[in-house]
Every structure is written in structure tokens, then in C-alpha cells.
Amino acid sequence: MVKSELYFDDGPFRIPFPEEMHRAAQEQQSNNKEARIARAREVYCPHLGDLSSRNDQIALLVEDSRYEDDDLADILAIDIPEALQIWEARPVSLFSCLEPACRTPLPIRNRTHLRRLLHLEKQFNSFVRAEDPVEFQKLATMLCEGCAQGLEHSYDEQRRAEMCIRQARVAQLRRMPFEEYRLTPEWRARRNRVLFRAGKQCELGGDRCDPSEPIDVHHRSYSRYGDEPLNHLIALCRSCHQRHHGILPEAA
């Protein structure tokens, strides 16, 4: 599988859904949908097919995401690997690598894998348009291993460049005196998040707080100045803040 250090600080690595892969996904979904309807018609419409087509009924149920493995095994009275073998002999939905130049069939590892592919197929076609950001790992699930690695490498360089820019910016912020740093969008965003966490109240609380006072955001630690995790910051009312810095006496 693809390496998993695809995480920035702010969540999973996303890329724009390549348009040609999006088209392949839509085509695949519409083919699979037709195949499911056709198979269901064969199974359930008495004029068309053989009503006793046990294996086709099993194949349809294997793809039915309403049933967890245990429930399905109960319904069919066979175990899941056997049901999956029956599905494999004549699968309903087919999954191929979404890279149009490749289209290698994806091997199905187990029913969980199959249900994940069905789920992603639906998600990609109902909620995601071409060029929308998608989680890299989700898209990679719909690709063969080689194409997933190729796509990852093509983004590696861009990610490295972005990482460098970010590191350079953090270094720049760390050198700024606070009077300058406090005007940057980075500090403002962090400050807003702390105020939001605090509900715009002093996080020390207690009798000595004055709710009418402005709320400051104070550094509990300067070790990550310029790139502070939120737990290094605390919202304090002006009195608590000044008391903390020894501007107001403790007993005030």
C-alpha cells in the first residue's frame, strides 16, 4: 500500500480530483449501477430469469452494504469467504484502476474492501466534482498500487516545496518581536481559535475576573513561539493577565 505519512498538521493530505479520473469514476459507477439493476432483474423478475439463481442472489447480497458480515452470514446460512467466492465467480460490480491509461482490475481482498470500494464510488460520484479536493488515501484506494505510487510521487515534490515555504514562514515568524507578530494572519487565526475555545471568557475564571474587561491571549510557553500549539496559549481577562505578569499585585 501507499506510505501513510501523508499527513500535514492540519489533517489528511488532499489533492484535486483529476478530471480524467473523475470521469472514469462516474463511468464505472454508472456501469456498476446498471449491472446491479440488470442482475436484480434476472433474479427477481420471474419473466426474465431463473428464480432459483441462488448464486446471483448471494452475489447481490454480498454487495448490499446494509448487511454487516455477521448478519449476512445469518441470512445466507453460509460463511462470508464462501459467499465472496460465489460473488467472485460472477461479480456484479467491477472495479478498475481509475487512471484511464491503466484500468487494471482491482483485486478484492475481502468483503470489507469491497464495501469500501462501493462506498467510495458512491461518495465520489454524489458529492465530489472534478478538481474538488479529495483525500489522497481515498483516491488511492480506487487506483492500482503502481498508479497510486505514481500519483503520490507526482505530488511529493509539490508537498516538499510547500513544506519548505511553511518552514521558512515559521522561521520568519519566530524572529518577529511580538508587536509585529501580533499583526500577522497566523497569530490572528490562532488567537481567534483560543478565544473561541474560551467562549470569549477568562479561562482562569473565579471571583477576581472582571467579565467587562477585554480578553487577552497569553503565552503559557514560548517554546513554540511563531508556531504555537493551542495548549500553549490561554485566554485571560486583563486583570488576571496583569496579575500574572506581576503588573497587579497577587492580592488585588
Please say which residue, 76 or 144, places its beta carbon nearer to Zn ion: 144
Please say which residue, 60 or 237, places its beta carbon nearer to Zn ion: 237
Phi, psi of 152 (to 5 degrees): -60, -45
Kindly list the residues in this chain that would bind Zn ion in the complex (CB under 5 A).
97, 99, 102, 104, 144, 147, 202, 204, 209, 218, 237, 240
Please say which residue, 16 or 105, places its beta carbon nearer to Zn ion: 105
The residue among 223, 221, 215 whose CA lies nearest residue 241 is 215
User: Cβ 143 to Zn ion, closest distance in Å?
Assistant: 5
Q: What is the DSSP letter of 252?
A: -
User: Cβ 48 to Zn ion, closest distance in Å?
Assistant: 36
Element (H, E) at 138: helix 136-141
Distance CA 139, CA 155 (A): 13
User: Cβ 23 to Zn ion, closest distance in Å?
Assistant: 15
Distance CA 233, CA 198 (A): 11
Distance CA 201, CA 70 (A): 50
Please say which residue, 11 or 206, places its beta carbon nearer to Zn ion: 206
Please say which residue, 167 or 221, places its beta carbon nearer to Zn ion: 221
User: Cβ 104 to Zn ion, closest distance in Å?
Assistant: 5
DSSP string of 161-182?
A: HHHHHHHHHHHHHHHS-HHHHT
The residue among 181, 164, 163 whose CA lies nearest residue 173 is 181
Cβ contacts of 133 within 8 Å, gap of 6 or more: 14, 15, 16, 17
SS3 209: coil
User: Cβ 73 to Zn ion, closest distance in Å?
Assistant: 33
User: Cβ 164 to Zn ion, closest distance in Å?
Assistant: 30
Please say which residue, 83 or 97, places its beta carbon nearer to Zn ion: 97
